[in-house]
Chain A
Amino acid sequence: MIKLKSTLLGLFVCAVFSVSSHAQTQNQINDKFRQLNEYLPTANSYRTASGAPGYAYWQQRADYKIDVTLDDDKQTITGKATIKYYNNSPDPLKYIWMQMDQNRFDPKTSMDKKSETMPKTTKGMTMESFRKYVDERTFDGGFKVTSLTDSNGSDLKNVVVGSMMRIDLPEPLAAGAITEFNISWWYNIPDAKKYKLSRQGYEFFPRDENRIYEIAQWYPRVTAYSDYEGWHNKEYQGSGEFTLEFGDYDVAITAPSDHIVAATGELQNSADVLTQDQRDRLIEARTASVPVFIVTPKEAVENEKSHSTQMKTWRFKADNVRDFAFASSRKFIWDAMGYYMSENGETVMAMSFYPMAGEPLWSDISTHAVRHTLNVYNKYALTYPYPVAISVNGPIGGMEYPMISFNGARPTTHEDGTRTYSRRTKHGLIGVIIHEVGHNYYPMIINSDERQWTWMDEGMNTFVQNLAHQEWKDDYPLGRIDPRNITGYMTSTNQVPIMSNAESVIQKGNNAYAKPATAFNILRESIMGHELFDFAFREYAQRWKFKRPTPADFFRTMEDASGVDLDWFWRGWFYTTDHVDISLDNVRHFTIDTKDPEIEEAFKRKQEMEKRTHPSYFSNDDLPKRVDEFPGIKDFYNDHDEFTVTNKQRNEYNKLIAELEPWQIDMLKDDSNIYLLDFTNIGGLLMPLYLEIVYTDGSIEEKRYPAEIWKQDYNQVTKMIVTDKEIASVVLDPKYETADTDMFNNFFPRRILESRFDLVKEKANQARDMLKENQEKPKSLDDYKKEKQKEDDKNKKLSEENFKKLLDEYK
């Protein structure tokens, strides 16, 4: 055992070399490093313990053949579909549940409207907004099913439950069997701008009396049936999104003949609907390095005027998609550019559809952003498997469907007809396009359940979106994945864990987007490193593309493919509401006890002398001393202080040295500095320790210790650092990597930190207008006193009144 001596306190501290921690067994009851087993479902033949689909994995399938007509005069959709349903499950099914999401806009049945409460205070409601409020409740929305028959033409019994419909089959559909049924319906298309979270609808342009239609949730869709939940029959309330089955789509869209239609899938009959010029341009665009207009701005302006009463049918096919959406308008400019993917030799058409109101921003940005998204996501997830990727500008602010997304940002149109846009609008548009096109991967292809686990699509997508931002331009703000931005939220004492149901999540923006995206960022940048993280994250995408992963499959795959035990991380970040606050309490300095009495006694003497700081140790030094006047009273002790080395000590040392091996003697001569760093985990969430050590010689060293450092005791650990230099200061998490919520206790010695508030205040104070300040009339002190008295009286009265009023309101 080697003894350490403290250079700070003059205490001789005895410690073993492995000082990592004091084990505390009572902590283990609630072990943060325990495997997640009790949270994760038991592995089975459908889903393996390594996080991959099992040998008996199955999912249902639904193919759709649909004829649909868009009536621009009445703003209706009328459709007729043949749906082929494959029961790949091992279970016989007596009925099939359908999602009737348009029923959300039926005021008679909508759960969404029923659960909405009338605001208490009606003051301030304008006629305009009251009209909207009434409209919402009188709008004749929702699916009107006109027929539902089996393949023989016989009627099928059905029951509508809010936004769901149960089709009762005459015979149970056996495991492995296929059934076909026909359904016809129509509905009034809602004005998208009248609803929050409408996700689809039309936008009216009064100037030219045209509309842009963004059509989605427009046909009865088969509800998902899975091995872990059976029928996902959950009422649609608007906030949670969708869970759907894959299948092939063959859709014929009939629209006014001067409309341009964009849709999920590949256009099958371009000769019927496009001019020869337009078809030539499409071919040119395939290999172009910049977007090429298929419909030019000039042609779009001409189309706006024609208001044709003729109809045209556009046919689209889409294979292996989980949904189908389209957009249609006279107003569309259309540009396109091919993206050749060297991974598989295929070319994807990146395309954009937008009105003149989107210019000049859209033709510059949109198609580039689509192509950029494919480029980046292909790297982190999987090679894009579809023939087109589309961005449409219309009424919807941002919403994703397979191969097609709706993105709302536009420039400002000024009175003189010119249009300008700010940097924020531009960044915002790039961001929203990357985000919505990115949703093709999460969850359109990696088909997680959006309604139950919002973080699996939004969190992962937001994370990769931010990686794409970084590759767009160097100084793109980090935004939602910056650990510093999540700290405030993470200290709230009333959050719910990320692993909560989507519809019940309050603070969804933080919980489903920012917190998981930040967690992935920390895993990649700090805990796993790019190589291990990227491999495992991509492996998850590869395993689950066109399949239905659950959170457990993701957690398991990340560990399985990287070899890193992350249960502690998932537990802390996804199953608890703990936050990160680690304190660097103390840095204690020691050197090695050499056992050599000549050195050690001198060291003790120095320590003792350093303690003698009080003035009375020195202030009487000049006075004559009795021992000098009577030298006879002096003896051995007068010439030798208590730290004088005796012969006995020398002998003992020599005896010790004689018994030691040469390497042991060397160790005793080591003049290293030994530092013990004490850390306390205040927030509860375990994180690695990242240290920046500045030495007295000015050199700087970075040290990184994994979270496992907390394994024995996750309230307190001590880390030893041995160095031949002397430490001047230590910072814990100097780069703000861990979302530590209180940085004040991360510095040794403590430092005054400028808070975000201070910085902003400073900046605001600097932005003064001195000219204006100088124009103020000078006032006397008396003036101010009078003014203040007046102001105080007024405020007091006002505040009393307001408080009383507020109290009344809440009664």
Chain B
Amino acid sequence: MITLCVAGNGHAHRFYASFTQIELQPTKGTIEVIHRIFTHDIEDLLMRYRGSDGELSDEVIESFLKDYIVQAFAIYSPDGNMIPLNWIAVEVTLDNIFVYQEAPLQEGQETLIIADRILQDLFDDQSNTVNLKLDGKVKSHTFQKDSKMYQISFNGRTGDYPFEN
């Protein structure tokens, strides 16, 4: 369980930002998800979380993210069913951590409801940008703290979810 409000350690170069690219691939029949998180953000978080001053191995980072991303990020069909995402891989580089997930794409599906709270339970300034891409078209949304879920659609309504009316 990740705890709330763990304070960071004052890195001048903490970004409190993640970037997620979701691609609907009708020809492959898949939904591909790539999260890009700044390595510093995760390192500092894990240092706090584990309460140690040591470094972090790629394995520790992966096993943490495997638990964490599932709680913090989800996509849903317009009928409200969660679309389970398969875990593909994690790449840890000096600057960035990339997390890869995948799900089957239903035929004709051009709408997703997205919940993205990556690191928002921990950092108040965290902002998470999501790009949804279909056939070269892109629609973006940035989740700030207290953002609602968000529906992005290429053939219907786009906006905060649930809709007000």
Contact = CB atoms under 8 A, between A and B. Distances in A.
A247 to B, nearest CB: 23
A494 B141 contact: yes
A678 B129 CA distance: 34
A508 B17 CA distance: 8
A159 interface: no
A479 B140 CA distance: 24
B34 A756 contact: yes
A761 B121 CA distance: 30
Contacts of B146: 117, 120
A196 B96 contact: no
Contact of B139 (A195, A410, A493, A761): A493
B19 A479 contact: no
Interface string A97-140: 00000000000000000001101111111101110110010000
Interface in A78-105: none
Interface stretch (A175-183, A309-317, A393-401, A532-540): A393-401
Interface in A788-811: 795-796, 799-800, 802-803, 806-807, 810
B131 A492 contact: yes
Interface stretch (A417-425, A563-571, A614-622, A722-730): A417-425
B54 A410 contact: yes
Contacts of A422: 55, 57-58
B145 A117 contact: yes
A185 B148 CA distance: 45
Contacts of B64: none
A124 B131 contact: no
A125 B82 CA distance: 26
B138 A493 contact: yes
A763 B92 contact: no
Interface in A126-164: 126, 128-130, 132-133, 136
Contacts of A41: none
B127 A506 contact: yes
B2 A124 contact: yes
Interface in B3-42: 3-17, 19, 21, 23, 32, 34, 36, 38-40
A489 B19 contact: yes
Nearest to A458: B13
The range of chain B's interface size is: 35 or more
A379 to B, nearest CB: 23
Given A795-B84, A806-B115, A119 B121 contact: yes
A615 to B, nearest CB: 33
A400 B12 CA distance: 8
A509 interface: yes
B25 to A, nearest CB: 9
A197 B8 contact: yes
Most chain A beta-carbon neighbours within 10 Å: one of B1, B8, B13, B23: B13
Interface residues of A, number: 87
Interface string A733-751: 0000000001000000000
B123 interface: yes
A413 B54 contact: yes
Given A129-B3, A508-B17, A757-B100, A492 B95 contact: no
A94 B94 CA distance: 50
Nearest to A469: B94
Contacts of A116: 124
Contact of A421 (B13, B55, B121, B129): B55
B31 to A, nearest CB: 11
B153 interface: no
B96 to A, nearest CB: 7
B40 to A, nearest CB: 7
Nearest to B101: A757
Contacts of A124: 1-4, 121
A447 interface: no
Q: Which 8 A-B residue pairs are closest in the complex by CB-CB distance?
A: A196-B8, A198-B10, A509-B15, A397-B11, A412-B54, A125-B4, A764-B89, A492-B140
Given A132-B5, A410-B55, A508-B17, 8 more contacts: A124-B2, A196-B123, A357-B53, A395-B10, A488-B21, A760-B88, A803-B80, A806-B149
Interface of A: 116-117, 119-126, 128-130, 132-133, 136, 192-201, 239, 241, 357, 395-400, 408-413, 421-422, 424-425, 427-428, 431-432, 435-436, 458, 477, 479-480, 485, 488-489, 491-495, 506-510, 513, 682, 742, 755-757, 760-761, 763-764, 795-796, 799-800, 802-803, 806-807, 810
30 contacts: A117-B146, A123-B4, A133-B5, A196-B10, A196-B123, A198-B10, A397-B44, A398-B13, A399-B12, A408-B11, A410-B54, A421-B55, A424-B58, A428-B39, A432-B13, A488-B19, A488-B21, A488-B131, A491-B131, A509-B15, A682-B136, A756-B34, A760-B98, A764-B88, A764-B89, A799-B80, A799-B82, A802-B74, A806-B115, A810-B149
